[in-house]
């Protein structure tokens, strides 16, 4: 019987895989709206939240001028008093609510002890990705961090996956890609021959069939999967 290749590396998506990005975003946006209302902007809290989410969906979740667009829509110009109130409230709430999922530290520590090489492949801009990684104190675990700024291409493009494997010195079949977005993380990794794990705990799409080799309800399952997989090799 032919032995299979050992798993030697794990590459993670960042948002909604290592950290609860959508929860952080929700708290931060709601705090920003409250801040703008307290500064005198006459808007309805609930409909403002829906409107800001729609702006993010149109211009991208990393867009830095969402509140400018929102305020201009309300009063026909960007009033810096309201903008400052919104940004300050947003940043405070973002820092208070930027959290790793349960067992992320424990999992990364256990994988590092097993000698598994670890990396991140994210569609986020480089500065934002690194800020989150440092804020969560996870930077020392990763041998490589590849962002949109490094490749100019978003997943499921092969480029970020290949770049991360080259940096780690690993073959696709020796590596598991972990992510919450099947169409990007799973499809992109599979097309170059990587193994895949779906972060079901971070799923915001109501995914039924992920198409991944493994579905994770808790990130720590990775440790057991790799131990079992490598133990049977």
Report the C-alpha gap between 114 and 103 in whole angstroms: 16
Q: What pLDDT score was predicted for residue 232? A: 74
Write the CATH number of the domain with boundaries 22-97. Answer: 1.10.150.520
- List of long-range contacts for 72-77, beta carbons under 8 Å, 24+ apart: 74/41, 74/42, 74/43, 75/41
E strand or H helix at 179: strand 175-179
pTM: 0.91
Residue 4: pLDDT over 90: no
What are the domain boundaries of the chain?
9-20+100-231, 22-97
C-alpha pair distances (Å), 197 with each of 75, 104, 108, 125, 212: 46, 15, 15, 23, 5
pLDDT in tens, 126-180: 999 999 999 999 999 999 999 999 999 999 999 999 999 999 999 999 999 999 9
Q: What pLDDT score was predicted for residue 189? A: 98
pLDDT in tens, 30-78: 999 999 999 999 999 999 999 999 999 999 998 999 999 999 999 999 9
Mean pLDDT, range 200-204, rounded to an integer? 95
Q: What pLDDT score was predicted for residue 3? A: 62
Which CATH code, of 3.40.50.2000, 3.40.50.1000, 3.30.1150.10, 3.40.640.10, is assigned to 9-20+100-231?
A: 3.40.50.1000
């Amino acid at each position: 019987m032919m032995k299979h290749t050992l798993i030697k590396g794990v590459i993670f998506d960042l948002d909604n895989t290592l950290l609860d990005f959508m929860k952080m975003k929700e708290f931060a946006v709601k705090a920003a709206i409250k801040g703008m209302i307290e500064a005198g902007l006459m808007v309805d809290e609930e409909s403002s939240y829906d409107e800001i989410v729609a702006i993010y969906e149109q211009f991208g979740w990393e867009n830095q001028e969402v509140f400018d667009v929102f305020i201009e829509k309300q009063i026909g110009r960007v009033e810096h008093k309201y903008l400052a109130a919104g940004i300050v409230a947003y940043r405070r709430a973002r820092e208070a609510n930027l959290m790793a999922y349960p067992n992320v530290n424990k999992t990364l520590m256990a994988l590092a002890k097993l000698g598994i090489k670890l990396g991140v492949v994210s569609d986020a801009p480089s500065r934002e990705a690194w800020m989150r990684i440092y804020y969560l104190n996870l930077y020392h675990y990763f041998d490589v961090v590849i962002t949109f700024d490094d490749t100019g291409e978003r997943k499921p493009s092969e480029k970020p996956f290949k770049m991360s494997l080259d940096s780690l010195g690993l073959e696709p079949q020796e590596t598991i890609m972990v992510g919450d977005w099947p169409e990007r993380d799973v499809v992109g990794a599979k097309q170059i021959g990587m193994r895949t794990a779906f972060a079901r705990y971070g799923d915001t799409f109501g995914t039924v069939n992920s198409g991944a080799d493994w579905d994770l309800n808790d990130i720590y399952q990775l440790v057991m999967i790799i131990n079992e997989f490598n133990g049977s090799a």
